[in-house]
């Protein structure tokens, strides 16, 4: 099982760049990139809230659960 982060999909839908999201949310570009690529170990609810507010979306639009195929 894994959690997939779909920030890039929402950025494309909103025609927004990662740098713009970084500025609006107040998160470093490095940390946002780690989250986008799924390499972050976790995300704070206030960070998730800020991302959803900026992208005008729900947490489920950003985070997706993919079960194991076995």
Q: Is the pLDDT of residue 4 over 80?
A: yes
CATH number for the domain harbouring residue 12: 1.10.260.40
Place of tokens 């780690």: 34
Q: Which residues of 32-55 are buried (b: 16+ CB within 10 A; e: fewer)?
A: bebbbeeeeeebeeebeebbbebb
Average pLDDT over all residues of the chain = 93
Q: How many domains are contained in the chain? A: 1
pLDDT of residue 52: 97
State pTM to two decimals.
Answer: 0.88
pLDDT in tens, 8-46: 999 999 999 999 999 999 999 999 999 999 899 899 999
Q: Which residues lie below 8 Å from residue 8, measured CB to CB, with a gap of 6+?
A: 36
Helix (H) or strand (E) holding 39: none
Domain that holds residue 24: 2-66
């Amino acid at each position: 099982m894994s959690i997939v982060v779909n920030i890039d999909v929402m950025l494309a839908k909103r025609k927004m760049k990662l740098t713009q999201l970084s500025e609006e949310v107040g998160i470093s570009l490095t940390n946002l990139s780690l989250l986008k690529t799924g390499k972050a170990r976790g995300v704070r609810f206030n960070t998730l809230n800020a991302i959803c507010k900026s992208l005008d979306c729900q947490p489920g639009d950003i985070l997706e659960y993919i079960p194991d195929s076995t």
